[in-house]
Structure 1
Amino acid sequence: MSSPSVSVITPSYNAEKFIQETINSVKGQTMTDWEMIIVDDCSSDRTRDILKENAAIDSRIKVILLEKNSGAAVARNTALKNARGNFIAFLDSDDLWKPEKLEKQIQYMKKNDFAFTFSAYELMDEESQMLQKVIKAPESIDYKGLLKNTIIGCLTVMLDRSKVGDVQMPDIRTRQDFALWLSILRKGHIAHGIQEPLSIYRLVEGSISSNKLKTAKRNWYVYREIEKLSLPYASWCFVNYAFYALKKRLEA
């Protein structure tokens, strides 16, 4: 069996309300040479039934069922270990991609020989209503820039494994994606932004990412415990992060 061009990494947990729409946005891609690896983190609702039904219909959808709830990092890392594609893309179980997302992003990476790209994205609510808001992407960002501005949306990222190598996320409950991006950029890579919004982020009330205080605390943890930044430098990065986070919400 030949390897797909891109592996889509999707963790799921009690996602019965949204997961089918998420899967449909991948199945609706203009580029069809993909595999979607969905790792379910011990859901207690109908998520697993929905996943099995989709895998039975489409062989490109691979489902892995974890035996105990372990968090998004373990789920994503399990998917990454099983990925066969040269390109890696990330999509959470409540978010969506626009139909040309994969095709445009891979073309952009191949044309420019980029290892790491991301894009702007739009926002929608829990009922899939578009909020007419766009989170813009800078043209590029490096390690020091990302420390001060966590602008990269996980659902927009694509990595070229031939350039960045095999990757794993640190086993923390939240912000493991941010820590992974930093680890890649720390090696000298630059993340390049696509200005066109290619993904749609769902704002879900009560989700981990919606809790701004917890996110801020976890960012601080990444600065001090994972990146080992000095207290003064971590504080400077944190002030900048808070400023840009507020600016992002006001401009969206």
Structure 2
Amino acid sequence: MAEVSIITPCYNSSRFLEETIRSVLNQTFTDWEWLITDDQSSDNSVEIIRKINDPRIILSITEKNGGAGHARNLSLAKANGRYITFLDADDFWEPNFLEEMVAFMKNQNAELAYSNYARCDEHLKPKIGDFIANKEVTFHNLLKTCRLSLLSSMYDSQRVGKEFFPEGNKREDHVMWLNLLKKIPVGKPLPKTMAKYRMHPSSISHKKSHIMKEQYLVYRDYMKFSTLKSMYYTANWAINGFMKYSKIFN
């Protein structure tokens, strides 16, 4: 049984996949399993993964395309590691990411932790300032803005259980973190930059105006808030999202 389970959905990711694979294979911490679920890619993503001769990499393929949340859930169901972390097929970890995060989780007795990450263009060159992990995360402050990014966060499944993603909402990661933080008091920040996030021009998370409705449903349908309360938190999320990605504030 590996100490860390890495969860990755893959869909037509061949352009960046080899770089992502190298970033995992180069980790200084080696006690991991990597569960990759391909969501019916039409490119050669599966062929790239199958070429890697490493028994720690476990590839699954969905029966039909179901979206990133569905692919993550299939991997989560098979995960055996104590610590759960996520890496999309186009993102990148520095070699010390797992080592630093696991040590921090143990030293801080943390159930959930997150780190800084660099916000880069498609060539992993800095685009705006790093996102800084500078405050403890709670259920209440996560309602107004999602400070937790999948590629730079880790939680202890032995203590809090596995938290699965809702399917059918483009904001499934925010819902998952909120549900997790209903069970624990706080997520702790590690202010070191150990990951790189590609900010694609077509990125769902970058185009805030396109997912306002999805975010509203996070509060109304998943958190069961009233219409007025849901609109209040959606407005806060939109404002904070603009500040998070605008070059004016970074």
TM-score (norm 2): 0.95
For residue 19 of structure 1, what is the aligned residue in structure 2? 17
1:212 aligns with 2:215: no
| Offset, 1:173 | 4.1
Cα displacement string for residues 63-82 of structure 1 (whole angstroms, at most 9, x for unaligned residues): 00112101011100000011
Q: CA RMSD in A?
A: 1.3
SS across alignment from 1:64: strand
Query: Contact conserved, 2:160 with 2:184, CA < 8 A, in 1?
Result: no
Question: 1:94 maps to which residue?
Answer: 90
Correspondence for 1:78 among 55, 74, 80: 74
1:125-165 Cα offsets, whole Å, 9 max, x none, are 11232336201123201111000111211111101011111
- How many pairs are equivalent? 248
The match for 1:183 among 179, 182, 186 is 179
Residues 24-59 of structure 1: CA distance to partner in whole angstroms, max 9, x if unpaired?
A: 1111111011111110000000111111112xx111
Residues 98-133 of structure 1, C-alpha deviations (whole Å, 9 max, x = no match): 111111111111011110111111011112323362
**Among 24, 31, 39, the residue aligned to 1:41:** 39
CA distance in 2, matches of 1:12, 1:164: 26
Moved more, 33-42 or 118-127: 118-127
Q: Which residue of 2 aligns with 1:66?
A: 62
**How do 1:31-180 residues align onto structure 2 when only pairs under 5 Å count?**
31-54=29-52, 57-131=53-127, 133-180=129-176
Aligned AA (1:121): Y
1:24–1:169 CA distance, 2 compared to 1 (3 A): same
Q: Secondary structure at the match of 1:133?
A: strand
Deviation of residue 188 (structure 1)? 3.5
Give the counterpart letter for 2:94 in structure 1. Answer: K
Return the alpha-carbon distance in structure 2 between the equivalents of residues 216 and 138 of structure 1: 26
For the Cα contact (< 8 Å) 1:123–1:131, is it kept in 2? yes
Give, in angstroms, the shift of residue 223 of structure 1: 0.7
Q: Residue by residue, what CA displacement relative to the aligned partner does 1:175-221 show, whole Å, maximum 9, x if unpaired?
A: 11110100011123311121111211001122333332233221111
Question: Could you tell me which amino acid in structure 2 is paired with residue 16 of structure 1?
Answer: S
Secondary structure of 2:185's counterpart equals: coil
In 2, Cα distance between the equivalents of 1:235 and 1:223? 8
Q: Percent identity?
A: 35
Letter in structure 1 aligned against 2:29: M
Structure 1, unmatched stretches of 5+, are: none
**How far, CA to CA, are the matches of 2:32 and 2:184 in structure 1?**
28
Runs of 4+ in 1 over 4 A off after TM superposition: none
Q: Pick the aligned partner of 2:196 from 196, 200, 214.
A: 200
> Partners of 1:65 and 1:173 in 2: how far apart?
21
Q: Output the TM-score relative to the length of structure 1.
A: 0.94
- In the alignment, the residues of structure 2 paired with residue 245 and residue 231 of structure 1 have an alpha-carbon distance, to the nearest angstrom, of 21
